[in-house]
Amino acid sequence: MNTNTLRAITLAVLFFTATALAAAQPVELRLDARKPGAPVQPTMYGLFFEDINHAADGGLYAELVKNRSFDFPQPLAGWAAFGNVSVTRERPPFPRNPAHVILAPAGHPHKYTGIENEGFTGIGLRVDDDYRLTLWAKTLENNAPATLRVELVSAAGDIIGRQDIAITADAWTKYTAIIRPAITDPRGRLRLTLASPAGVAIDHVSLFPVDTYKGRENGLRRDLAELLAATRPGILRFPGGCIVEGADLATRYNWKNSVGDVENRPLNENRWHYTFPHRLFPHYFQSLGLGFYEFFLLAEDIGAEPLPVVSCGLACQFQNDDPAAHAPLDALDEYIQDLLDLVEFANGDTTTTWGALRARMGHPTPFKLKHVAIGNEQWGDEYVLRLAPFVAALRARHPDVKIIGSSGPSADGAYFDHLWPEMRRLRVDLVDEHYYKDPDWFLSSATRYDAYDRRGPAVFAGEYACHLPGQPNNFRAALCEAAFMTGLERNADIVHMATYAPLLAHVDAWQWRPDMIWFDNLRAAPSPSYHVQRLYSINKGTRVVPLLAPDGKPATGVANPATGTANIYASAVLDEPARAYIVKIVHTSADARPLPLPSNLPNRVRSRHPTG
Ligand code: AHR
């Protein structure tokens, strides 16, 4: 290959003291350019999305109002009410979210009726940005016109934006107001006050920044979506994670509830509100406003293959020992049909039932779905027996769609050892492996896939992150992940996808850490792990190239002779369109080590560091 460029990516802690360098021995790595190996799949590095840590509601989904449809179990959760406020479910505008609110006169000329929303740990407002308030309303008795005063209120209680909306129709009607706050406040509030002698009925009160990702009305937070796009992911896995399974089947993620008009997508609980007793978030629900249509759209926008995960009829096995909690084997038809309908929603033409819904929602052209995962962290024969009919049905109807099965919740152990041969027997295309482990595991597992059975199925490293007990994200964890990923890359013939998890976390409302990107109501902070993921992803190349340590073996912890510490991990790929070799070298300890670029490489060298 006539390459003329080398890009060296060094993720290293280097301490350049003259004496240390003089004492330390250089590490010679040799790149065998004559032997380009397996292709690197375009799906190799991707994103795992789950609504955990307020990743969707209160996070990526740009809606700023909590409990906008008044359908939380306590209908005014998230709202403070004053004056004459009542909740009713009679004659609802949106039958699947039936609760709505009546604002009636307070009964005294100097008293007021209204409701005030606290947002998700406040409402983030930016001076000079426009915010779109929408609500559904109708007049009450005798169709007397009413006026609703809409105000943005600062954390200090000042009114920083105001609009009056005239409610004139006695049928449910959508009203819109654009409001611009006078100051920036990360913890603002939204207040609606009745400003007329006549009352109103209201529902689905929503506030979005106008400036969402791609400018969509039911859109995503632009800063967060842009960070996702900047990783140039090959795959987007959604909607999780454990929320796929549900703490019980009734609350599993039912994708059909997440499409169609947002007002009529039924609220679901979010199991992360009660999973960890030391971090309870009783107001954590799933509005499903960021639903499957929006996930497919996001995947398309950021250039990733969509990878939906569906329920296999098992509720979360961690939380349900009782076999009766799961769908019986002879009652799986509904779940299998959900999967077939999902493929139709994504790929069917506009004459099909679900393809027509996709078109009505704004996307007549298919989303070209090529992969589905069936079940999340399932285990045991109860999983194998359920997966089999899913595989048979999908193969019969959509043989081109690749199937991903589970290897259980851990990277090893009895469940794992049982499931891998079963996945092979069921001939799934990829097996999803999950590992949340400590630094030693990540470093020693840089060789994990070197000896894997090459007969397939391929591997999807579907959830992983280096955990330092009791510590949030840090640079050491990211270095260990980077070292481990040299092993993913070297084994790209069988590792076809990898997604770090979890993806997003609100600093004031998280349940799980570390996470890839942290955010508050106005700002986003990508972690060192984000930068590692991004570096690998934007430099994934097209073909693996052998990169050898002085002993002629892959560099999977080359020891520093001065200290005995194994600290150099490296891998290389060829990027054929760019005519470039890309070398990743990870230095995982504080020992000083000169790192000359591979000695047998061409002349022009560009070096790129994590921030570059
Ligand atoms: O990523 C957080 C959780 O970890 C996922 O929901 C689950 O699949 C795993 O146990």
Residue-wise pLDDT tens digits, 202-229: 999 999 999 999 999 999 999 999 999 9
Q: pLDDT class for 365, splitting at 50, 70, 90?
A: very high
Which residue's alpha carbon is at the smallest distance from atom 5 of ligand 1? 241
Residue 535 in this model has a pLDDT that exceeds 90: yes
Of all protein residues, the one whose alpha carbon is nearest to atom 2 of ligand 1 is: 502
Please give the pLDDT value at position 592.
78
Instruction: Give 8's pLDDT tier (boundaries 50, 70, 90).
Output: very low
151 pocket-lining for ligand 1 (C-beta < 6 Å)? no
- The span from the CA of 67 to the CA of 75, in Å, is 8
Active site residues: 377
CA of 518 to the centre of ligand 1 (A): 17
22-44 burial: b if 16+ Cβ within 10 Å, else e? eebeebebbbebeebbebbbbbb
Angle between helices 222-230 and 292-302 (to 10 degrees): 50
pLDDT at residue 458 in the model: 98
Distance CA 342, CA 354 (A): 8
Q: Is the pLDDT of residue 250 over 50?
A: yes
User: Comparing C-alpha atoms, which of 605, 608, 564 is closest to residue 25?
Assistant: 564
Residue 385 is predicted with a pLDDT of 98
Give which of 326, 594, 429 is closest to 43, Cα–Cα.
429
- Give the count of alpha carbons within 13 A of 420, CB side only: 17
Q: Which residues sit opposite 372 in a β-bridge?
A: 403
The pLDDT > 70 percentage for the chain reads 93
pTM of the model: 0.95
Q: Would you say 378 and 367 are in contact if contact means Cβ atoms under 8 Å apart?
A: no
Q: How does residue 500 score in pLDDT terms, banded at 50, 70 and 90?
A: very high
Given pLDDT bands bounded at 50, 70 and 90, which one contains residue 278?
Answer: very high
pLDDT of residue 2: 38
- Which of 238, 242, 271 has most ligand 1 atoms within 8 Å of CB, for mutation? 242
Distance CA(379)–CA(409), nearest Å, equals 8
pLDDT of residue 565: 87
Q: What's residue 27's pLDDT?
A: 82
To which residue do tokens 């007793």 refer?
A: 277
Q: Please indicate whether residue 502, judged by its CB atom, sits closer than 6 Å to ligand 1.
A: yes
SS3 labels along 392-408: HHHHHHCCCCEEEEECC
In 496-519, which positions are buried (b, 16+ CB within 10 angstroms) versus exposed (e)? Answer: bbbbbbbbbbbbebbbbebbbbbb
What mean pLDDT comes out for the span 512-541? 98
pLDDT at 102 over 70: yes
Give me the count of residues in the chain.
612
- For atom 3 of ligand 1, which residue has the closest CA? 241
Ligand 1 pocket, 501 CB below 6 A? yes
Determine the pLDDT at residue 605: 39
- Residue 373 identity (one-letter amino acid): A
Asked if residue 602 has pLDDT above 50, the reply is yes
Q: What is the mean pLDDT of the chain?
A: 93
Q: What is the DSSP letter of 369?
A: -
The pLDDT of residue 607:
42
Closest among 403, 400, 382, 383 to 391, alpha carbons compared: 403
pLDDT digit string (tens) for 414-460?
999 999 999 999 999 999 999 999 999 999 999 999 999 999 999 99
For 479, the 3-state DSSP assignment is helix
Please tell me the predicted confidence (pLDDT) of residue 597.
Answer: 65
